[in-house]
Amino acid sequence: MEFHSEELFSEPGGWESARIFLLAAVAFSIFGGIELLSNNGTSSSVVLAIGMGIGGIAELLPTNRQSLVSVLRIVAIAILLSVVAMSLVSLVS
C-alpha cells in the first residue's frame, strides 16, 4: 500500500466525486438518527456522516482553494480514522 501525496493535495474532483460523499453523509445521518432515537445505537454513524460531509464539501470547492481542500480532506480522514479507533476500543473492552 503506497501513499500518494499528489492525490491528497490534488484539485477538487467536482460534483462527480462530491455526490458520492454527500449521499453517503445523508445515508449515515438517517441511519445515525434512527439509531440515536431508538436509544440502542452509538454515535459512530453520526461521526461517519460528519466525515463524509466534510469530504463532500472539500470536493465541491473551487480549484483555486486547493490548500483549503487539502485541509478538509485531512480533517475528514482524521474523523473517519477516529471512528475506526472508537470501534477498536469498544471491541477490546
Q: What is the pLDDT of residues 21-33, one digit of tens each?
A: 899 999 988 988 8
Q: How many residues does the chain have?
A: 93
Question: Where on the phi/psi map is residue 39: left (φ > 0), alpha (ψ -120 to 50), or beta?
Answer: left
Number of structural domains in the chain:
1
Whether 4 is covered by a domain: the verdict is no
Q: Is residue 6 part of a domain?
A: no
Per-residue pLDDT band for 8 (boundaries 50, 70, 90) equals low
Looking at the domain assignment, is residue 54 inside a domain?
yes
Alpha carbon distance 91, 74 (integer Å): 26
Q: Is residue 42 part of a domain?
A: yes
Residues 6+ apart with CB under 8 A from 92: none
Alpha-carbon gap, residue 35 to 33, rounded angstroms: 5
Whether 62 is in a domain gets the answer: yes
State pLDDT tens for residues 52-88: 999 999 989 888 888 888 899 899 999 999 989 988 9
User: Would you say residue 65 lies in a domain?
Assistant: yes
Q: Which residue range forms the structural domain that includes residue 88?
A: 13-92
